[in-house]
């Protein structure tokens, strides 16, 4: 009896928590837009992962009243603040950002565009021992303020890329991978003990170009020569007084002293947070009203079937594209891609929908941090492709193979008996290695897919197959390098992609447009199920999670168009 009573109490507590969470969801999502006072400043707090469309976190919202910000939110907030007469300035507080350089550049360009309104932008930094990407963003502001005891570290771009072949050898695991061609290094971390000549050439080219954009951007913003900036970067770190003397920051101030700078004609400005300001409707400020443009987000590794909020499922993205194509009120489509690639078949399913949609209405691709291999495959049929200078793209190539664990099973004492009908029935079994005949067959199959990849790039980009093959072979390019080679049309961000879509749809530049954003906000149960599905990885280090993803993707999708897993070198 007592046990039943305890079970009932636990059930009631669980029910109340669920009910409270759902109520908090409705309060957060359906609550009235905040009142923005005259003489306000918008505070943008940026730290941690920056995703294109962050999945709503209702559990966090319940306990903290906040939601994760996404690139879409940040971009939209800055757009709104630029035209909102109640917002007098923008204040950034930036911590360590977990994203690549293209997203940083996208936010940086948005801040620079905000300043064209005549309003000021400031950034306040307390302490930043490793702050290269973040400092690059900071230089978009009118003034950079550092805490008097703050420490600013700008030490360049680079680090170490891990290789795991020796570790796998010790475990008794062998990666049997066929790839097209020499720059297709997605699984080299499993098959090599270090760089191949092609791999090293590609990585040095990428990082050299990223470093060049970094140095040039800082030099222009801080009124210094590129040689001066390189010397400062080589020094590495600066205490507050040193950073001020070097011209890297403008003031050393405590927060209360900084607030004095924000006064408007001697009157204090009111703060509104990015979370609150996200609820202000763009249409209330005269933004994004008019003819409709579909803005479709494709994020994460590509696979066949339905996607989740962190992966690009071919069925899901195809459905969004068909919806935009069939909707007569949609004048054009902008497809925002942030993906390292994945399944070749999944990529081709999406490519077909892009191809069909382009026949009906203009379609522009906007590339984010990466649109490599499968990410490029889904993009190449667009009318126009826009990328940031630092976007990682290209990687036109194919890969396939498996992991043989026969020696590991032997070490563990695991035995197996074979029952197979068909000579190749156990070809992809982890219990044995591929035969030479099977490896030759695998190579032939991916060469056939590579040939189709070349043909579709050639058709979409108005190049010959020979030209595409020369710049293909699995090689990754930065956005600026890709533009030089005809893989990208323009350098820019989401705003430029929307401008191009308007132009192609015959919408006058001065006219506004409304945005149909897909996917729409995700339901509570979508997130709940998604959390359960990923709970087993929730405490895994991000770099280790990439390794697990590499194993899983090759297990689920036999033929991949995927770029190298991008390990953090900061």
Minimum mean pLDDT among 9-13, 129-133, 461-465: which range? 9-13
Q: Which long-range contacts (CB under 8 A, 24 or more apart) does 261-267 make?
A: 261/122, 261/143, 261/145, 262/41, 262/89, 262/91, 262/122, 264/39, 264/88, 267/39
pTM of the model: 0.91
Which pLDDT value is given to residue 56? 63
Q: Across the strands, what pairs with 293? A: 332, 515
- The DSSP symbol for 282 reads G
Minimum mean pLDDT among 61-75, 150-164, 218-232, 313-327: which range? 61-75
* 405 neighbors 427 (Cβ within 8 angstroms): no
In angstroms, how far is CA 130 from the centroid of its own chain? 21
| Residues shown for the chain | 570
What 3-state DSSP class applies to 329? coil
In the CATH scheme, what is the homologous superfamily, with its name and number, of domain 34-158+202-283?
2-enoyl-CoA Hydratase; Chain A, domain 1 (3.90.226.10)
Q: How far apart are the first and last CA of the chain?
A: 59
Which pLDDT value is given to residue 529? 46
Decide which of 128 and 212 is more confident.
212
Which pLDDT value is given to residue 434? 96
> Which pLDDT tens digit goes with each residue over 42-82?
999 999 999 999 776 555 555 555 567 799 999 999 999 99
Decide which of 310 and 504 is more confident.
504
533: pLDDT confidence band, cut at 50, 70 and 90?
very low
Equal fold, 34-158+202-283 vs 288-401+436-531+557-562: yes
* 356 neighbors 387 (Cβ within 8 angstroms): no
- The angle subtended at Cα 8 by Cα 6 and Cα 13, nearest 5°, is 95
Q: Does the pLDDT at position 3 exceed 90? A: no
Which pLDDT value is given to residue 537? 45
What 3-state DSSP class applies to 333? strand
549: pLDDT confidence band, cut at 50, 70 and 90?
confident
Decide which of 523 and 448 is more confident.
448
Nearest CA to 183 out of 466, 385, 399 is that of 399
Two tokens, residue 136: 């690059």
Which pLDDT value is given to residue 544? 60
- The angle subtended at Cα 341 by Cα 338 and Cα 347, nearest 5°, is 105
Measured CA distances, 486 to 355, 371, 458 (Å): 19, 15, 10
Q: How much is the mean pLDDT over the chain?
A: 89
Q: Does the pLDDT at position 185 exceed 80? A: yes
What does CATH list as the number for 288-401+436-531+557-562?
3.90.226.10
As a whole number of angstroms, the distance between CA 502 and CA 351 comes to 22
In angstroms, how far is CA 371 from the centroid of its own chain? 9
What residues act catalytically? 373
As a whole number of angstroms, the distance between CA 29 and CA 7 comes to 33
In angstroms, how far is CA 21 from the centroid of its own chain? 29
> Which pLDDT tens digit goes with each residue over 331-373?
999 999 999 999 999 999 999 999 999 999 999 999 999 999 9
Q: What percent of the chain has pLDDT over 70?
A: 86
Q: Across the strands, what pairs with 272? A: 42
As a whole number of angstroms, the distance between CA 433 and CA 481 comes to 39
As a whole number of angstroms, the distance between CA 220 and CA 321 comes to 40
Which pLDDT value is given to residue 527? 52
Q: Across the strands, what pairs with 235? A: none
Nearest CA to 295 out of 329, 336, 339, 327 is that of 336
As a whole number of angstroms, the distance between CA 438 and CA 444 comes to 10
What order do you get walking across the sheet with 398-404 strand by strand? 174-180, 398-404, 559-562, 341-343, 302-303, 312-313
Please state the φ and ψ torsions of residue 523, each to the nearest 5 degrees. Answer: -75, 165
Decide which of 569 and 276 is more confident.
276
* 336 neighbors 366 (Cβ within 8 angstroms): yes
Q: How many helices (H) and strands (E) does the chain have?
A: 22, 22
Please state the φ and ψ torsions of residue 50, each to the nearest 5 degrees. Answer: -120, 105
Where in the chain are the domains?
Answer: 34-158+202-283, 288-401+436-531+557-562
Q: Across the strands, what pairs with 297? A: 336
Q: Does the pLDDT at position 28 exceed 50? A: no
Minimum mean pLDDT among 6-20, 250-264, 531-545: which range? 531-545
Which pLDDT value is given to residue 33? 75
Two tokens, residue 270: 């009111």
> Which pLDDT tens digit goes with each residue over 252-311?
999 999 999 898 778 899 999 999 999 999 999 999 999 999 999 999 999 999 998 789
Q: Mean per-residue pLDDT for 137-154?
A: 96
Minimum mean pLDDT among 15-24, 123-132, 548-557: which range? 15-24
Decide which of 368 and 538 is more confident.
368
Nearest CA to 185 out of 345, 397, 393, 343 is that of 397
543: pLDDT confidence band, cut at 50, 70 and 90?
low
Q: Mean per-residue pLDDT for 170-197?
A: 95
Which pLDDT value is given to residue 372? 94
Minimum mean pLDDT among 102-106, 122-126, 145-149, 158-162: which range? 158-162
Decide which of 448 and 552 is more confident.
448
């Amino acid at each position: 009896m007592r046990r039943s009573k305890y079970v009932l109490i636990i059930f009631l507590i669980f029910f109340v928590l669920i009910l409270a969470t759902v109520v908090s969801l409705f309060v957060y999502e359906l609550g009235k837009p905040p009142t923005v006072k005259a003489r306000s400043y918008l505070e943008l707090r940026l730290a941690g992962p920056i995703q294109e469309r962050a999945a709503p976190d209702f559990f966090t919202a319940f306990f903290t009243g906040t939601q994760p910000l996404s690139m879409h939110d940040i971009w939209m907030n800055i757009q709104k603040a630029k035209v909102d007469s109640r917002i007098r300035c923008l204040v950034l507080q930036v911590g360590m950002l977990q994203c690549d350089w293209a997203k940083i550049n996208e936010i940086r360009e948005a801040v620079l565009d905000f300043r064209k309104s005549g309003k000021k932008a400031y950034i306040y930094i307390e302490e930043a021992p490793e702050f290269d990407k973040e400092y690059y963003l900071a230089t978009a502001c009118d003034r950079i303020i550092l805490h008097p005891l703050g420490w600013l570290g700008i030490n360049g771009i680079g680090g170490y890329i891990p290789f795991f072949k020796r570790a796998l050898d010790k475990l008794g695991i062998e990666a049997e991978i066929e790839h097209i061609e020499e720059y297709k290094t997605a699984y080299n971390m499993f098959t090599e003990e270090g760089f191949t000549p092609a791999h090293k050439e590609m990585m040095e080219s990428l990082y050299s170009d990223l470093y060049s954009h970094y140095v040039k951007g800082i030099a222009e913003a801080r009124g210094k020569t590129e040689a001066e900036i390189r010397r400062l970067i080589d020094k590495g770190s600066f205490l507050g007084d040193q950073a001020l003397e070097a011209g890297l920051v403008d003031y050393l101030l405590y927060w209360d002293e900084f607030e004095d700078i924000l006064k408007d004609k001697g009157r204090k400005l009111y703060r509104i947070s990015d979370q609150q300001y996200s609820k202000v409707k763009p249409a209330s400020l005269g933004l994004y009203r008019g003819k409709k443009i579909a803005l479709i987000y494709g994020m994460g590794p590509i696979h066949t079937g339905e996607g989740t909020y962190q992966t690009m499922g071919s069925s899901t993205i195809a459905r969004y594209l068909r919806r935009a194509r069939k909707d007569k009120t949609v004048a054009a489509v902008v497809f925002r891609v942030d993906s390292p690639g994945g399944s070749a078949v999944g990529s081709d399913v999406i490519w077909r929908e892009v191809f069909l949609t382009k026949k009906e209405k203009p379609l522009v691709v906007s590339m984010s941090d990466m649109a490599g291999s499968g990410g490029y495959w889904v993009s190449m049929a667009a009318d126009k492709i826009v990328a940031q200078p630092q976007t990682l793209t290209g990687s036109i190539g194919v890969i396939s193979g498996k992991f043989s664990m026969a020696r590991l099973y032997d070490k563990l004492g695991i035995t197996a008996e074979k029952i197979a009908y068909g000579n190749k029935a156990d070809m992809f079994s982890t219990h044995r290695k591929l035969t030479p005949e099977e490896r030759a067959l695998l190579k032939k199959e991916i060469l056939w897919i590579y040939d189709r990849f070349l043909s579709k790039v050639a058709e979409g980009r108005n190049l010959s197959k020979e030209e595409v093959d020369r710049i293909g072979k699995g090689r990754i390019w930065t956005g600026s390098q890709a533009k030089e080679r005809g893989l990208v049309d323009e350098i820019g961000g989401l705003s430029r992609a929307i401008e191009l879509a308007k132009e192609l749809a015959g919408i006058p530049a001065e006219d506004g447009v409304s945005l149909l954003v897909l996917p729409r906000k995700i339901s509570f149960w979508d997130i709940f199920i998604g959390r359960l599905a990923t709970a087993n990885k929730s405490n895994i280090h991000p770099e280790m999670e990439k390794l697990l993803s590499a194993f899983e993707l090759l297990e689920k999708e036999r033929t991949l168009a995927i770029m190298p897993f991008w390990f953090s070198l900061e």
